[in-house]
Amino acid sequence: MGSKIAVGVAVVLAMFPVLLGAVPQAVVMAFTGNGSTTCTPGGTTTGSVPGYGADQLANAAIITSVGKELQVPEPGWVIAVAVAIQESTLRNLDHGDRDSLGLFQQRPSQGWGTPEQIVDPTYAATQFYRHLQALSGWQQMSLNDAAQTIQRSGTPDAYGRHETDAEAIVAAVAGVACEHTGAGGCANIAAPTPAALTAINYACGQRGLPYVWGGNGPEDGDAGFDCSGLTRASYGAAGVPLPRTSREQYAAGPHVPAGAPLLPGDLVFYATAGRVHHVGLYIGGGNMIDAPDFGQAVKVEPYRHPGDDYIGATRPTAPR
């Protein structure tokens, strides 16, 4: 690692409270993945994110500082922080699975460095970014796919669920605000009701969890969701009860009239030979969030495909 990076990060550690009031130079960087993400530095750093302590945010500050020194675009900082959340909850661990260590749970036996090097947050972040920079097309990949390609985790769909927290942390320690557009976006959704917004926010927070047949999510002891389990849990978070299966949810209505525009929060349904078999949560812009099928994770994708079997939508409402 270069001395410039080491000195820069030493300043971050020594002056973390001062850093929180700094305003970085405004630059716009963007990359496209499952949709596109635009990250804009120049905002006010707050140094506060609910659920994360000062030690965790200090480690995140090191990660973003190293990314800046290595000239990694800001979306890469979000990927790195999301990985550190998943692997170590942003704590510099001296233990882990087998010989895994540090913020990123890197393994000496896999060529990441010596144990002494890996537990140096600056070194660990530098190594992660070097692997990211060597990954062809990472800027066109989803956060989860880019992270998994580098980390090769036994839980391959785990990283995407931390995207929202990672963006909040990068904003808090580096003044970088990220917005999403296109098929990957869960930000800036203008939902028509508080219930719809709550349902969408809940569903977006589950991105990266695996499809599990009959799954109701981690809160009910399952590793992930199936399609109707996700929509039921999402509206359950808003206090709107839904039946368990997609067929029952479609029958429950109320139905959006054919030809009427969809609104964020509507449930969109698919059927084969008249039998409903899938449901997603519409979020606007022609996109839905759903738990697609075996081997896939909760994600945002277009709600209509050529030749698909879309049959209509319902608009759940809060009980009176």
Residue among 25, 24, 2, 39 nearest 125 (CA): 2
Residue among 153, 173, 167 nearest 16 (CA): 173
CA separation for the pair 142, 210 (Å, rounded): 15
Residues of the chain with pLDDT under 50: 1-35, 182-183
Domain enclosing residue 171, as ranges: 3-184
**According to the model, what pLDDT value does residue 27 have?**
29
Q: Into how many domains does the chain fold?
A: 2
Of the residues 130, 160, 184, the one at which a domain ends? 184
**According to the model, what pLDDT value does residue 40 have?**
84
**According to the model, what pLDDT value does residue 241 have?**
97
Of the residues 121, 149, 184, the one at which a domain ends? 184
The answer on 138 and 211 residing in a single domain is no
Q: Read off the pLDDT of residues 164-205 as tens digits, 9 standing for 90 and up.
A: 899 999 999 999 988 755 445 676 677 899 999 999 999 998
Q: What pTM, to 2 d.p., does this model score? A: 0.55
Whether residue 206 is contained in a domain is answered as: yes
CA separation for the pair 279, 74 (Å, rounded): 34
Whether residue 133 is contained in a domain is answered as: yes
The answer on 157 and 46 residing in a single domain is yes
Look up residue 318 and give its DSSP letter: -
3-state SS, residue 267: strand
**According to the model, what pLDDT value does residue 188 have?**
67
Residue among 91, 110, 85 nearest 100 (CA): 110
**CATH number of the domain bearing residue 130:** 1.10.530
CA separation for the pair 175, 93 (Å, rounded): 26
**According to the model, what pLDDT value does residue 258 have?**
87
Q: 85: which 2 tokens?
A: 């959340």
Of the residues 157, 184, 211, the one at which a domain ends? 184
The answer on 198 and 117 residing in a single domain is no
The answer on 149 and 87 residing in a single domain is yes
The answer on 200 and 163 residing in a single domain is no
Whether residue 204 is contained in a domain is answered as: yes
**According to the model, what pLDDT value does residue 180 have?**
59
Look up residue 316 and give its DSSP letter: -
Whether residue 266 is contained in a domain is answered as: yes
Q: Read off the pLDDT of residues 292-319 as tens digits, 9 standing for 90 and up.
A: 999 889 998 888 866 779 999 999 998 8
Q: Which residues contact 282 (CB under 8 A, 6 or more apart)?
A: 262, 263, 264, 265, 266, 267, 268, 288, 303, 313
Q: Which helix (H) or strand (E) holds 301?
A: strand 299-302
Whether residue 252 is contained in a domain is answered as: yes
Whether residue 160 is contained in a domain is answered as: yes
**According to the model, what pLDDT value does residue 185 have?**
64
**According to the model, what pLDDT value does residue 20 have?**
37
The answer on 140 and 94 residing in a single domain is yes
CA separation for the pair 156, 297 (Å, rounded): 9
**CATH number of the domain bearing residue 231:** 3.90.1720.10
The answer on 126 and 86 residing in a single domain is yes
**According to the model, what pLDDT value does residue 31 have?**
31
Whether residue 101 is contained in a domain is answered as: yes
The answer on 202 and 67 residing in a single domain is no
**According to the model, what pLDDT value does residue 282 have?**
93
The answer on 213 and 238 residing in a single domain is yes
The answer on 172 and 65 residing in a single domain is yes
Whether residue 172 is contained in a domain is answered as: yes
Residue among 41, 58, 57, 59 nearest 49 (CA): 57
The answer on 137 and 221 residing in a single domain is no
The answer on 130 and 212 residing in a single domain is no
